[in-house]
Amino acid sequence: MLGKKMESALNEQINKEMYSAYLYMSMSADSTNKGLKGFANWFMVQYHEEMLHAMKMFEYVERQGGKVQLKAIAEPPQTFESAMDMFQKTLKHEQFVTQCINDLLNLAVTEKDHASQAFLHWYVTEQIEEEENDNDIIAQLKMIGADTAGLFMLDKDMAARMLTVPSDFSKGVEAAMKAMGK
């Protein structure tokens, strides 16, 4: 059974994951607008990853007998200066999310909520991967600098990113993860 404090904090985090999805959708749209179709693909895959983060938490709140409460999603920025600008903002946002996950875990410890602690460890691991991916791409963008041919090549690589997580949660997230062998 979820305590009220934990329930409300998890509902806030669902909103932040939804905002993340929205932010990456916006970056995908702006990438398309800039002729960077590979980046558009990368961000659309990231959008699905964020929907998984949100829906996994949604399901957890329900399974623990809590009530999901959806809040308004803030408007993301619509345009970005460059691919580098997008990834610097992505990294900054992910660092913020990592802090939010750490705060949630700290709350679960204070509340002696062991189930939520176990649940949140998945997100801790996930955030390591998220920041690592962003740092890798920023390093590549730094090497490329103003070289448009380099950016063209990286865009081709970004086009290869495939969705490796489920995107249909109508039968539940856990069921969808199991069906994909996760």
Selected from 53, 104, 141, 173, the binder of Fe ion by CB under 5 A is 53
Closest distance to Fe ion from the beta carbon of 94 (Å): 5
Q: Which of residues 128-167 bind Fe ion (CB under 5 A)?
A: 130
Start-to-end C-alpha separation, the chain: 26
Burial class (CB within 10 angstroms; exposed 0-12, middle 13-18, buried 19+) of 12: middle
- Categorise residue 165: left if φ over 0, alpha if ψ from -120 to 50, beta otherwise: beta
Contact, 42 vs 119, CB < 8 A? Answer: no
Q: How far is the CB of 13 from Fe ion (least distance, A)?
A: 9
**Span from 68-76, 82-90, 99-107, 127-135 in contact with Fe ion (CB under 5 A):** 127-135
Tell me which stretch binds Fe ion (CB under 5 A): 19-27, 64-72, 84-92, 153-161.
19-27
Minimal CB distance to Fe ion: which residue?
53
Contact 158, 44 (CB under 8 A): no
Least distance in angstroms from the C-beta of 35 to Fe ion = 25
Q: Are 2 and 107 in contact, with CB atoms under 8 Å apart?
A: no
In angstroms, give the least distance from the CB of 54 to Fe ion.
8
The verdict on 56 binding Fe ion (CB under 5 A) reads: no
Cβ at position 16, least distance to Fe ion in Å:
8
**What CA–CA distance (Å, rounded) separates 153 from 73?**
34
- Contact set with Fe ion (CB under 5 A): 17, 20, 50, 53, 130
